[in-house]
Structures are given as C-alpha cells and as structure tokens.
Amino acid sequence: MLRRGLRRHLRELRVLAGREDAGPDRLRADEDILLEMAAECRSGECLTPAYLADLTRRAPDFGMPPDLPEDAGKVLAEAATVETHPLIRAAHLFLTCEGELWPDRPTPPPQHPLPWVLASLSLLRSNQPPLPMDRRLAGQLAAARSRPDPHERLIALIPIFADLMTAALRAEICRTPAATPPSHGPAPLAGALHRRIQEHLRRRGDSLALVLRELDPTTRATHNAGDVSEGALAKRCDDAATRALFERGPDCWWSSVEIAVADAVLRLLVVVQQVGTPANGVLAVTADGVLACPEGPVDVLDLACTDCVTLIPTDCADERWPAVESFVDDVASRAIDRLTQAVC
C-alpha cells in the first residue's frame, strides 16, 4: 500500500517540477529507492551528516542532480533533529533543504523532489505517513516558498502541510481497519450536517437562478437530496472520495443542485461520506461539480486532495458547521463562476 501511495505522490511531484511523466521502469525504480529509504528510517538509522548527505545523492532527482554545498549534510541533520512536532519539523526540513539547493534564489524554481523526500522520510521516522503532493496546490506552495523571511515561509507552509497530512491520514484510516466498532454511529452528525448543507445549497441555487433569469427567463434550479447513491451518482461519490485520498464506506448523505440556463447545465453535488470500510466513525464532506455544455462535460471544481472537511466521532454539528459551510461556499462559488463564464 505504501508503494501505491508513493507512486501517486511521485507523479504529482513530477508535474510540480515541470518534468515529463516517467515511464513504468523509471517510476518503479524511484519507488524502490523510496521504499528502501523508508525502511531505513523506520529501523532507527542515525541521522548523521554523512547519512543525510548520502540520502541526497540516492534520492530520486527527476534528472536534476542536486548541487549542494559540502556542509549540506550537517545543516540538514540539524534540521532533521529539531525537537518539535513532527509536522513542523518536516516543514522546517523541507525549507532548509530548499535553502541549501538554492541559497541565492529569493524565489525558488519549480519544485525539486529532494525537499519532499526528506520531509516525508522525517514523517515516516515519526510513524506518520509520507506527505502527499498535489499539482493543484502549486500556487499555494509557491506563495509560501516565496515569502522573504524564513520564519514567514515556515508559518505559511505549516497550514498547507497540515491539510496534506489530514489527507494522508484519511488514506491511512482506509488501510487500517478499526480494532473495535465506534461506540455510536455517524448518522446523527451526518444527518445534521446533511440537512444544513441541503438548505444552504437551496438558498445559493435559488438566489443564483433569480439573477440568471435576467439572461434567460427559462432558467431553473432543481434540488435533490438522499442517503442512497446508485449508478452515475455513486460514481460521482466515488470520484469525490478518490480525489480526497480515501475509499468511501457504504453510507453517504448527498445534496445536489442543478441549474439549467441557456444551453448549459451545472450539476453540483456535496456529499457527507463515511471514510473507509468497515465504518470507523470518521466522515468526510466532499464535492463534485460538472458543467454539461455543447462542447461536452467539464469538471468545474478541479479539487485538490486537501479540498475536503474531515469529521471525527467526537465532533458536533454546531462546532464543525463553520468549516463545512465555508467548504460548501467555496465549491459553490467555483461552480457558479464557471457557469456564468459559460453563459455570459
């Protein structure tokens, strides 16, 4: 399972680095190298300057051999042994490695794989999953990495890493069946959020339809909701879960709005889904948006693996609703923007 995750992360890193997709043999070789390094980290290999320097030479480089100073191993070893939270240490090591790669570049070039490799190995050493990467986060990563002050770069990078780690933990939950069933099912929390999402989407859809009727008097908004997914709807739920790096459980609570204007139809779906099988009490709020137009269907959201709200059994609807509401507003705004661009 670790190999499959590393394969996905390597492909995303290649896009971020501006490199062509690797062939199966090259990809397999890079996976083998990372698996070997992961085994070393989990065995408790001492993080000496010599070992870190050796890692930088062995790590996948996508045809861009790193040009590091002679004392880079010492600098990286110091960053890798900072006593702090594993996620903060990984972010610090990531930025330290970038500083060694490009000491005189105020704005780092496209993403080199080495900082990610070292950050992920640091997390594995702390019994955490490796850090996912997502091409859709290129803008956020570039903004964080380009801050003028090192402390500001770290402060900006930590929330991005935290969201990525949440996605990694969703995937990890699906690979690790619950030892005992949850003490109470997800239905009360899921049901409460489902009702709020349904009402929120209804308000957004109806208000947009009123505006669009100025362009097309036949504009209509259709709302639906349910707790059973079949056929095309089930596939959309599966796709939303896959984008968020988890396998959905048997139950889901969905709300949808369909807005038809001129020759375009927007179909926006927001789903509360169980994470993993068997049920473990963890839920995720995901979304899927499709614009049907004469040129063919278009994904109007293009969501990253971090575009999701994760809920645990001890959460309550009132506490978590602001995060869910913000997510629903974000996906609705993205979808509406694409619809208005198509018809205006």
Q: What pLDDT sits at residue 183?
A: 47
pLDDT digits (tens, 9 = 90+) for 25-58: 888 999 999 999 989 888 877 888 998 888 888 9
Mark whether 121 and 213 lie in a shared domain.
no
Residue 340 confidence class, pLDDT cut points 50, 70, 90? confident
Mark whether 110 and 213 lie in a shared domain.
no
Mark whether 7 and 90 lie in a shared domain.
yes
Q: What pLDDT sits at residue 180?
A: 53
pLDDT digits (tens, 9 = 90+) for 95-118: 999 988 888 776 667 778 999 999
Residue 130 confidence class, pLDDT cut points 50, 70, 90? very high
Q: What pLDDT sits at residue 107?
A: 67
Task: Give a yes or no: residue 182 inside a domain.
Answer: no
Degrees to nearest 5, angle at CA 45 with 67 and 170: 85
Mark whether 163 and 204 lie in a shared domain.
no
Q: Does position 305 have pLDDT exceeding 90, yes or no?
A: yes
Q: How many domains does the chain have?
A: 2
Mark whether 66 and 108 lie in a shared domain.
yes
Question: pTM of the predicted model, to two decimals?
Answer: 0.90
In angstroms, the Cα distances linking 337 to 162, 268, 291, 342, 343 are: 28, 12, 11, 9, 10
Rounded to the nearest integer, the mean pLDDT of the chain is: 89
Mark whether 141 and 9 lie in a shared domain.
yes
Task: Give a yes or no: residue 62 inside a domain.
Answer: yes
Mark whether 139 and 223 lie in a shared domain.
no
Mark whether 219 and 264 lie in a shared domain.
yes
Mark whether 120 and 7 lie in a shared domain.
yes
Mark whether 41 and 151 lie in a shared domain.
yes
Mark whether 167 and 191 lie in a shared domain.
no
Mark whether 161 and 36 lie in a shared domain.
yes
Measured CA to CA, the distance from residue 243 to residue 306 in angstroms comes to 9
Average confidence (pLDDT) over 211-236: 88
Q: What pLDDT sits at residue 104?
A: 74
Task: Give a yes or no: residue 181 inside a domain.
Answer: no
Write out the residue range of the structural domain in which residue 145 sits.
2-175
pLDDT digits (tens, 9 = 90+) for 241-275: 999 999 998 889 999 999 999 889 999 999 999 99
Supply the angle between the helices 2-16 and 113-125 in degrees, to the nearest 10: 150
Q: Does position 283 have pLDDT exceeding 60, yes or no?
A: yes
Degrees to nearest 5, angle at CA 287 with 283 and 292: 155
